[in-house]
């Protein structure tokens, strides 16, 4: 049990030494082998690797010299499973089971890194660099992710070693609730979950509501497709969220918190459970924390697969045990939220910044970012980009820096077409805005939004009408069905888009589409409904020519919309072997052996079997 700052500091000192091998690269006579235990690397088999690693280490008799640490996400998911060896900081990527014996023997036992298994970018002749030297990491600045990939999230001492639970001690012993709120206000921290509402202001409102019972909620229902920032924080640094919720509880006068986390995140759920249990055992969560009389409890609630529950009122409705349908605001949650009591809700990444702000001061945080968007932002990079993964950059970094430098650009020599931010509520950003500094207001200005931080890159092979349709499909599927505008409006939007991608659209449909988008924006009940048309509006704004091509020329320039494609046999390449004709399931191809075959478009299903079978690349679909 930790009841005093002396006890906390004693734990800190002891475990600081343990983490110094990896944090400060101090050689203390043994090696830390960090294996990513985040969802991405676990999916690519990191758990199995740890098992093999342990066996091999035992076989080599070096158990005493090696400390295996299962960490949270390093960020470079595309290179998973990832393994780092400290104190030197060498970086093995896409580690395979078969490589382990060699790595253990050569590197862990004999101190010679296995160059060919290292991430190529860190190997420069004889020089072996570290993760920090990669272009992926150089421009990053880690605040929310500072412990991810560094500590073992299942060991509370390692969090304590990294100043864990110092912030709540500071708050409880030397600050008033108003001080805390003022610090947050001064820091300029805005909600990282989507809207970007000033966090301090939210807390101020909730503090001002008079009620014996108030609640602190954490939104970990990260539902944007392609976004996994919050998951990584929960997997890699769960205590940071717990501690921040305690601070929020102190600030607004609440003693109960709920974390609403997606059930699709089993690892995050497990780590949270462990973290809550450990914090409770240490007395850092629960009754009378640090003997100050302040008590705070946290309950975990699992989502059950409803995107709309990321909306604050829907999330609360869901915790209450109902269909997760949003409620009209006002009343705002700060006045009447969960169980009709004053409530604050912040997302994981927002909380992940709070302790750092308390410890380092508002000015430190406000020193990063742009005028109206302070601090850093975590993005989940995905889609047509080399370095798929998680990056944290100061607000104001340009999209170009993120995509080209950190993300390593578009693979396969393809051309960048658009970046999608903000998930289904956001929009597509065209090449001309690549140099806009990313912050809340700029993104909204160019027709997208920050959202929770998903950043999907698209290249010339992506059809923007199809992308808009994809997002609308998502929205239709995830609409709660409560309000008319979203329930029927988005469905009709989707149907019009389908019509267009099938080549049946008219120019009037484009007008109707746009009109309906603006209608939904104005009329939907909740934030999700109001932003649902954004993917359509932004693609209409920047890629109208693609819409026109579908509608007027009945052509899909990216070659995605199947209904608009035809299969052709190039006569100059066709040898007349008849294979395609024999493979065609509907007998749509005919010809004479030895001379070029032809496709009967009235029969062709565009299944592509012919293309797959042609040995001469003589069949194209365009």
Partner 1 sequence: MVNIKINGIACSAPEGSTILEAARLVGIRIPTLCYLKDINAIGACRICVVEVKGARSLVAACVYPISEGMEIQTNTPKIVKSRRTTLELVLSNHRKDCLSCVRSGSCELQALCNEYGVNEYAYEGENPVIVVDDSSLHMVRDNSKCILCRRCTAVCAKTQVIGVIGANDRGFATQIGSAFDMPLSETACVSCGQCTAVCPTGALTEKDDTQKVLDAIADPDKFVVVQAAPAVRASLGEAFGYPIGTNVEGKMIAALRRLGFDKVFDTNFSADLTIMEESAEFLDRMNNGGVLPMITSCSPGWIRYCENYFPEFIPNLSTCKSPQQMFGAIVKTYYAQKLGKKPEDIVSVSVMPCTAKKFEINREDENAAGVPDLDISITTRELARLIKKSGIMFTDLPDEVCDSPLGTGSGAGVIFGATGGVMEAALRTAVWTLTGKPDSTPIEFTEVRGTEGLKEATYNVAGTEVKVAVVSGLAQAKKLLKRIKSGEANYQFIEIMGCPGGCVNGGGQIIQPAYVRNFMDIGKERAKVLYGIDKANALRFSHENPDVKALYDEFLGEPNSHKAHEVLHTSYKAQKLYK
Partner 2 sequence: MVLEKSSVPFFGTAEQKKRLMAVISEHKDEKGALMPILQKAQDIYGYLPIEVQQIIADEMDIPLEKVYGVVTFYAQFSTHPKGRYRISVCLGTACYVKGSGDIFNRLVERLGINGGEITPDGKFSLDACRCIGACGLAPVMTINDDVYGRLTVDDVDRILDKYN
- Chain positions contacting partner 2, by CB under 8 A: 39-40, 42-44, 76-80, 223-228, 231, 263-265, 301-307, 318-325, 339, 380, 382-384, 388-389, 420, 423, 454, 456, 458, 462, 467, 470-471, 480
Given partner 1, partner 2, none, residue 407, with its beta carbon under 5 to 8 Å by kind, binds: none
| CB of residue 308 to partner 1, shortest distance in Å | 8
Q: Could you give the CA distance from residue 187 to residue 578 in angstroms, rounded to a whole number?
A: 71
Residue 229 lies near partner 1 (rule: CB under 8 A): no
Please report, as residue ranges, which positions from 309 to 348 form the binding site for partner 1 (by CB under 8 A). Answer: 323, 327-328, 330-331
Please report, as residue ranges, which positions from 454 to 513 form the binding site for partner 1 (by CB under 8 A). Answer: 476-485, 487-492, 495
Q: Which is nearer to partner 2, 216 or 319 (CB)?
A: 319
Given partner 1, partner 2, none, residue 302, with its beta carbon under 5 to 8 Å by kind, binds: partner 2
User: What is the DSSP secondary structure assignment for residue 455, as one 8-state letter?
Assistant: E
b/e per residue, 469-487, with b = 16+ CB within 10 A? bbbbebbbebbbebbebbb
At 344, list the tokens.
Answer: 């604050």
Q: Which is nearer to partner 1, 11 or 308 (CB)?
A: 308
Burial label for 609, CB within 10 Å (0-12, 13-18, 19+), is middle
Q: Which is nearer to partner 1, 323 or 573 (CB)?
A: 323
Residue 541 lies near partner 1 (rule: CB under 8 A): no
Number of Cβ within 10 Å of residue 178's Cβ equals: 11
At 492, list the tokens.
Answer: 């009709």
| CB of residue 186 to partner 2, shortest distance in Å | 34
For residue 258, which of 211, 309, 292 has the smallest C-alpha distance?
309
| CB of residue 532 to partner 2, shortest distance in Å | 15
Asked if 531 contacts 444 with a C-beta cutoff of 8 angstroms, the reply is no
Q: Which is nearer to partner 1, 335 or 604 (CB)?
A: 335
Given partner 2, partner 1, none, residue 411, with its beta carbon under 5 to 8 Å by kind, binds: none
Q: Which is nearer to partner 2, 72 or 375 (CB)?
A: 72
Given partner 2, partner 1, none, residue 205, with its beta carbon under 5 to 8 Å by kind, binds: none
| CB of residue 477 to partner 1, shortest distance in Å | 6
| CB of residue 46 to partner 2, shortest distance in Å | 11
| CB of residue 195 to partner 2, shortest distance in Å | 21
Given partner 2, partner 1, none, residue 80, with its beta carbon under 5 to 8 Å by kind, binds: partner 2
| CB of residue 587 to partner 2, shortest distance in Å | 19
Q: Could you give the CA distance from residue 517 to residue 499 in angstroms, rounded to a whole number?
A: 16
Spatial neighbors of 570 by CB under 8 A, at least 6 apart, are 596, 618, 619, 620
What does each C-alpha distance from 520 to 223, 490, 514 come to in angstroms?
21, 8, 10
Asked if 51 contacts 60 with a C-beta cutoff of 8 angstroms, the reply is no
Given partner 2, partner 1, none, residue 305, with its beta carbon under 5 to 8 Å by kind, binds: partner 2
What does each C-alpha distance from 474 to 12, 418, 488, 493 come to in angstroms?
46, 19, 14, 12
Q: Which is nearer to partner 2, 120 or 322 (CB)?
A: 322
Burial label for 545, CB within 10 Å (0-12, 13-18, 19+), is exposed
Given partner 1, partner 2, none, residue 547, with its beta carbon under 5 to 8 Å by kind, binds: none
Q: Which is nearer to partner 1, 385 or 520 (CB)?
A: 520
Q: Which is nearer to partner 2, 88 or 280 (CB)?
A: 280
Asked if 251 contacts 181 with a C-beta cutoff of 8 angstroms, the reply is yes
- What strand order describes the sheet that includes 389-394? 389-394, 376-383, 454-459, 416-421, 427-429
Q: Could you give the CA distance from residue 196 to residue 397 in angstroms, rounded to a whole number?
A: 17
Residue 22 lies near partner 1 (rule: CB under 8 A): no
Given partner 1, partner 2, none, residue 489, with its beta carbon under 5 to 8 Å by kind, binds: partner 1
Helices (H) and strands (E) in the chain, counts: 26, 20
Q: Which is nearer to partner 1, 105 or 473 (CB)?
A: 473
For residue 253, which of 217, 207, 284 has the smallest C-alpha distance?
207
| CB of residue 309 to partner 1, shortest distance in Å | 11
Alpha carbons within 13 angstroms on the beta-carbon side of residue 615 total 5
Q: Could you give the CA distance from residue 500 to residue 519 in angstroms, rounded to a whole number?
A: 20
Residue 391 pairs in a beta bridge with 379
| CB of residue 424 to partner 1, shortest distance in Å | 13
Judged by CB under 8 A, how many residues of this single chain contact partner 1?
A: 32
Chain residues that interact with partner 1, rule: CB under 8 A = 306, 323, 327-328, 330-331, 476-485, 487-492, 495, 515-516, 519, 521-525, 530
């Amino acid at each position: 049990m930790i009841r005093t700052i002396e006890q906390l500091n004693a734990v800190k000192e002891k475990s600081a030494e343990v983490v110094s091998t990896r944090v400060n690269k101090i050689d203390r006579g043994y090696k830390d082998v960090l294996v990513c235990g985040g969802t991405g690397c676990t999916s690519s088999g990191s758990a199995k690797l740890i098992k093999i690693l342990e066996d091999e280490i035992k076989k080599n008799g070096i158990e005493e010299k090696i400390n295996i640490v299962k960490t949270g996400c390093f960020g470079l998911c595309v290179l998973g499973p990832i393994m780092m060896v400290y104190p030197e900081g060498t970086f093995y990527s896409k580690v395979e089971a078969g490589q382990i014996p060699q790595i253990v023997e050569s590197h862990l036992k004999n101190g010679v890194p296995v160059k060919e298994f290292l991430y190529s970018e860190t190997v420069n002749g004889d020089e072996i660099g570290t993760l920090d030297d990669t272009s992926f990491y150089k421009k990053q600045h880690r605040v929310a992710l500072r412990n991810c990939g560094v500590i073992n999230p299942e060991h509370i001492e390692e969090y304590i070693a990294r100043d864990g639970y110092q912030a709540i001690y500071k708050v409880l012993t030397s600050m008033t609730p108003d001080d805390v709120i003022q610090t947050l206000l001064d820091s300029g921290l805005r909600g990282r979950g989507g809207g970007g509402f000033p966090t301090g202001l939210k807390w101020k409102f909730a503090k001002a509501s008079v009620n014996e019972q108030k609640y602190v909620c954490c939104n970990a229902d990260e539902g944007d497709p392609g976004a996994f920032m919050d998951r990584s924080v929960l997997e890699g640094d769960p205590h940071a969220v717990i501690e921040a919720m305690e601070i929020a509880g102190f600030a607004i006068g609440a003693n109960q918190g709920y974390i609403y986390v997606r059930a699709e995140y089993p690892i995050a759920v497990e780590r949270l459970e462990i973290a809550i249990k450990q914090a409770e055992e240490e007395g850092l969560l629960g009754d009378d924390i640090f003997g100050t009389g302040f008590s705070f409890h946290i309950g975990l609630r699992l989502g059950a697969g409803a995107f709309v529950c990321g909306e604050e009122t829907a999330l609360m409705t869901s915790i209450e045990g109902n269909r997760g349908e949003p409620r009209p605001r006002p009343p705002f949650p700060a006045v009447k939220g969960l169980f009709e009591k004053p409530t604050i809700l912040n997302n994981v990444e927002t909380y992940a910044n709070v302790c750092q702000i308390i410890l380092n001061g508002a000015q430190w945080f406000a020193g990063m970012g742009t005028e109206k968007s302070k601090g850093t932002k975590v993005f989940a990079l995905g889609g047509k980009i080399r370095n798929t993964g998680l990056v944290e950059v100061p607000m104001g970094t340009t999209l170009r820096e993120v995509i080209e430098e950190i993300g390593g650009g578009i693979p396969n020599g393809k051309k960048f077409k658009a970046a999608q931010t903000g998930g289904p509520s956001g929009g597509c950003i065209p090449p001309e805005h690549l140099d806009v500094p990313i912050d809340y207001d700029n993104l909204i200005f160019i027709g997208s939004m920050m959202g929770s931080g998903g950043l999907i890159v698209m290249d010339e092979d992506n059809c923007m009408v199809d992308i808009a349709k994809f997002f609308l499909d998502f929205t239709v599927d995830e609409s709660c069905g409560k309000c008319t505008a979203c329930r029927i409006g988005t469905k009709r939007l989707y149907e019009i888009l389908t019509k267009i991608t099938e080549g049946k659209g008219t120019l009037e449909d484009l007008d109707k589409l746009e009109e309906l988008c603006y209608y939904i924006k104005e009329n939907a009940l909740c934030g999700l409904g109001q932003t649902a048309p954004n993917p359509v509006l932004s693609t209409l704004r920047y890629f109208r020519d693609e819409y026109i091509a579908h509608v007027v020329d009945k052509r899909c320039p990216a070659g995605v919309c199947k209904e608009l494609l035809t299969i052709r046999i190039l006569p100059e390449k066709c040898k007349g072997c008849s294979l395609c004709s024999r493979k065609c399931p509907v007998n749509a191809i005919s010809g004479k052996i030895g001379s070029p075959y032809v496709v009967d478009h009235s029969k062709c299903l565009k299944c592509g079997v012919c293309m797959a079978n042609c040995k001469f690349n003589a069949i194209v679909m365009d």
